[in-house]
Amino acid sequence: MSDDEVDHELIALLRKSLGIGGGAANPGAAETKVLENSQYVFDNAIDVALDPTKTKEAAETIWSQMQKKEYTTSSWSEHELHPKTKDENTVDFIFTMDLLNFSFWSAETSEKRFAIEYQGKKWTGYWSLVAALQRALDEGIEITNPEFWANEEECTEELLRHVFRSATAEEMPLLQERLECLREAGRVLCNDFDGSFTNCIYSANHSAAALVNLLAESFSCFRDEAIFQGRRVRLYKRAQILVADLWACFDGESYGEFHDIDKITMFADYRIPQMLHYLGCIKYSPPLETRIRKHEDIPSGSNFEIELRATSIWCIELIKREIELKHPEVKSAKTNGHSDSNGISKPNGHSRGPSQNSNGHPIDSQGQPSGLFRRHSRHSSASNARPGTGVGINAILIDFFLYDTMKELENDGQETIPHHRTRSIWY
């Protein structure tokens, strides 16, 4: 072999050792670099800062309130819109869902914003996506089939407009971009993974980090990266939330079994920065805060946006570490692979927002108004979790909790600052 020739076997070995391109030779070695990159952005940020004292105070408040709510991964399927089965069809649904899980915010009033009418209710936000997918399946449209996405004669923009037809005058945002995501994913899955996302899961060998890396490498629509001060940084919101949904739906078993689930960070979008600002954990420079309060667009990939997202990721990591420091039994429970009597898992519904009634207010699985901090009369969630599926605390759970909290504050008119507005396929 000459010096100019490429050693493909060596490259393949190196890629596997990094947890990309089909799993890691040592799955435990796979790293997404999201946390490391987020710390770099935070260390060099100009317009977003952290308040250490408020962050520590928030950690104790968050942990205390999480104990009052009953979380369990088994409740993922309880929401009326989520799949009830635990099979490959469910994996297909989750992949489709998170492939298109971006940019639902609207400048319209609640009555005029994009909404899907399904089973006698109107659904907005994330739930509008899930409702539209379920409605399409009911109509016999193969909306979760990669072969269908790759067929440009069948999966047309006209058909997608039908799938996402709105109950209001406002259309689904970024509809053309969603079609492009479907077509790319269809081509990649059919060409490289025998037409099934389950083969991506198998390639990752039960490593959450390896699966995130595989998604980002194989699908450009999952490659949520940006350049910040001359360095490429990874944020990978949708790739990570896809792994989290699999973990939650399958209770950490079967297609949702990941030995390194705690390598997943929070999911950097609009609501967590807003909630962290509400808690006093993060602060904005006057120019950035002015733009947010005036509802001015913040361009995707701008320093403002990267600092908002990355600093939020790092802040949630610090909150998690503070909880583990003050409550060492939590870390022990996580390390041992099971939860103690205070163990908690995923809240009811998806990681992005509580269920809503036709008026847009949160409801629980029985259709009753959801009180954010109300005490539940049910038995402890830990007693309902199967052995080995519970966890102590991780960034996923904190993200779930804070997102639902922010939505509740919004519905009660208690927002202290709007969320930032960035129209993007990344979140």
Which residues are identified as catalytic? 269
Distance, CA of 160 to CA of 175 (rounded, Å): 8
- Whether the CB-CB separation of 237 and 267 falls below 8 Å is answered with yes
List all residues 6 or more positions away from 60 whose beta carbon is below 8 Å from its beta carbon: 322, 323, 326
Tokens of 197: 């996302």
**Of residues 232, 235, 233, 228, the one with CA closest to residue 303:** 228
- Whether the CB-CB separation of 216 and 185 falls below 8 Å is answered with no
Cα→Cα distances 214→30, 172, 247, Å = 11, 28, 17
Bridge partners (DSSP) of residue 117 are: 122
Backbone torsions φ then ψ of 48, nearest 5 degrees: -135, 130
Radius of gyration of the chain (CA): 21
Question: What is the DSSP-derived secondary structure letter of residue 78?
Answer: G
Query: Which pairing describes strands 231-234 and 282-284: parallel, antiparallel, or unpaired?
Result: unpaired
Distance, CA of 47 to CA of 19 (rounded, Å): 33
Distance, CA of 80 to CA of 348 (rounded, Å): 11
Cα→Cα distances 294→101, 302, 394, Å = 26, 18, 34
- Whether the CB-CB separation of 354 and 408 falls below 8 Å is answered with yes
Helices first, then strands: H and E counts in the chain: 17, 8
List all residues 6 or more positions away from 21 whose beta carbon is below 8 Å from its beta carbon: 12, 15, 214, 217, 218
Distance, CA of 266 to CA of 395 (rounded, Å): 5
- Whether the CB-CB separation of 357 and 127 falls below 8 Å is answered with no
Backbone torsions φ then ψ of 365, nearest 5 degrees: -65, -15
